[in-house]
Amino acid sequence: MSGAVDLELRPVSPAGDRLVKLADEHALAFAERAAEHDRLNTFPDAHWAAMAESGLLGACVPERLGGLGVTRVQDVVAAVNRLGRGDGSTAIGVNMHLSAPWFFGRLLEDEADERRVRELRLLLRLAGSGRAVFCVAFTEHGRHIPWPATEARRAPGGYRLDGRKGFATNSPACTVLLSSVRVVDDDGQPRLGFALVPRSAPGVEIEEVWDALGMRASGSHNVVYRDVALDERMVIVTGPLGEIATATFPLVLVNALGLAAAFLGIAEAAHAHAVDLAGRTRKAPSDRPIAERPAVQHQVGEAEVDLALSRGAIAAAARLLDEFFDGHAQADLDPGDLHRLMKTVQCVAVEAKRRAIEVVDRAMTVSGGAGYATRSLLSRLYRDVRAGPFMQPFSPLEAYEYIGRVALGLDPMVAL
């Protein structure tokens, strides 16, 4: 798009254009109801119905299976970013959801096993029509990601699943849960794995506990599995405990970058609000708009710097992922490469989320006391945006050591 003069995240394919256009339209509508869902701590079912209807939820499903055919990470990330401008809670839920069909589509490309192909196609077809909505439920309170306590034990015909997941964003909307699990096979040896759990399976319960400072409409509840029976093919062993599985790395990478884009969207909304306010707010005795005060220009200038850096870096990282995934089939993935790629994504994500907080803070400053009022958009965004750093896979308590260890050539997983 040759007319662009800023680093706003933009789609890079015709399918991406359609997706981002949809995201923009939804964002506008969601923004109107976001304050109410925040106040009442309710889940915006209507948002999800609308996105199923419009086809947005099927964005990453191939066209032949009923979706929009988006394959570019750059497109996904741009769409999540736009949704974030309207409603951060919904944006992070969509990010979680979209990454799943994107990942299944990638698996499908290289899959030789015919039964597997049929299953993936079925799943994607359901996603394409908006009937399959995914919830990535990995986090457990008090445990690092690659050390889940949730256990899938061998049982006749498959597995039995027990455990509890927290921060399961988007759980009220989902029909399928993806959870990391500790697989205990017949040899009694626990391994890290991955389970696909139908929301409707007996023993699955969503505990509606989510009540937080912000992101109140994200439905990030607990999920409890109580002796849930799973078909054998719904559990996949990915490797030893304590490591990020090579096979699922692409999913984790896309998820992490999309989250950063969502929080960037929140910051963009706050900044736009502040710029608008600064042009309209007048302060006696001069009665000129406060935009003309150098201190306001300075704050706005600093926020622009933060946004430009985050946008540019997210865009560059998304492009990097696309190029890397294009060049590497699942079978060709190398753990060393993936950790270096994760280091890059993590650098961008941890900083973009931190700067998003600062941008909203500056918007608050520009607003004078006005932004501090409960009814102000800014006071909600200030609460929402603080969620960013808690988001997985690496919080600030882990991220810098992880990054540092990869850079220094040390085993990075020790940091966790």
Chain positions 142 to 161 lying near a copy of itself, rule: CB under 8 A, are 142-144, 147, 149
Is there binding between residue 164 and a copy of itself (CB under 8 A)?
no
Is there binding between residue 328 and a copy of itself (CB under 8 A)?
yes
Q: If 0-12 CB within 10 Å is exposed, 13-18 middle and 19+ buried, where does residue 141 land?
A: exposed
Alpha-carbon gap, residue 53 to 123, rounded angstroms = 18
Nearer Cβ to a copy of itself (18/386): 386
Residue 50 structure tokens: 């609308």
Question: What is the closest distance, in whole angstroms, from the C-beta atom of residue 223 to a copy of itself in the complex?
Answer: 15
Nearer Cβ to a copy of itself (87/140): 140
Find the binder of a copy of itself among 167, 194, 225, 263 (CB under 8 A).
Answer: 167
Stretch that binds a copy of itself, among 29-37, 59-67, 108-116, 205-213 (CB under 8 A): 205-213
Q: What is the DSSP string of 314-371?
A: HHHHHHHHHHHHHH--GGG--HHHHHHHHHHHHHHHHHHHHHHHHHHHHHHHHTGGGG
Alpha-carbon gap, residue 315 to 317, rounded angstroms = 5
Alpha-carbon gap, residue 413 to 405, rounded angstroms = 9
Nearer Cβ to a copy of itself (56/296): 296
Alpha-carbon gap, residue 333 to 326, rounded angstroms = 11
CB 346 within 8 A of CB 314: no
Find the binder of a copy of itself among 94, 382, 385, 393 (CB under 8 A).
Answer: 382
User: Considering just the CA atoms, what is the radius of gyration of the chain in Å?
Assistant: 21
Find the binder of a copy of itself among 175, 184, 293, 330 (CB under 8 A).
Answer: 293
Question: What is the closest distance, in whole angstroms, from the C-beta atom of residue 230 to a copy of itself in the complex?
Answer: 23
Question: What is the closest distance, in whole angstroms, from the C-beta atom of residue 292 to a copy of itself in the complex?
Answer: 7
| Contacts with 380 (C-beta within 8 Å, 6 or more apart), sequence order | 34, 35, 38, 214
Alpha-carbon gap, residue 7 to 397, rounded angstroms = 30
Find the binder of a copy of itself among 49, 117, 308, 329 (CB under 8 A).
Answer: 308
Stretch that binds a copy of itself, among 30-38, 123-131, 221-229, 400-408 (CB under 8 A): 400-408
Q: Which of residues 6-65 bind a copy of itself (CB under 8 A)?
A: 6-7
Q: Which of residues 333-372 bind a copy of itself (CB under 8 A)?
A: 337, 340-341, 343-344, 347-348, 350-351, 364-366, 368-369, 372
Residue 329 structure tokens: 């089939």
Is there binding between residue 253 and a copy of itself (CB under 8 A)?
no
Is there binding between residue 115 and a copy of itself (CB under 8 A)?
no
